[in-house]
Amino acid sequence: MDKQNLFVGSLAYTTNDDSLKAFFETVGEVESARVISDRDSGRSKGFGFVTMVNADDNQKAVDQLNGKELDGRAINVSLARPKEDRPKRDFGGDNGGSFRQRSW
**Full-model pTM:** 0.78
Average of per-residue pLDDT across 63-73: 97
Residue-range domains of the chain with CATH: 5-79 (3.30.70.330)
DSSP states along 37-71 = E-TTT--EEEEEEEEESSTHHHHHHHHHHTT-EET
- Give per-residue pLDDT as tens, 4-27: 899 999 999 999 999 999 999 999
Chain-centroid distance of CA 19 in Å reads 15
Q: Are 23 and 70 in contact (CB under 8 A)?
A: yes
pLDDT tens for 41-52 read 999 999 999 999
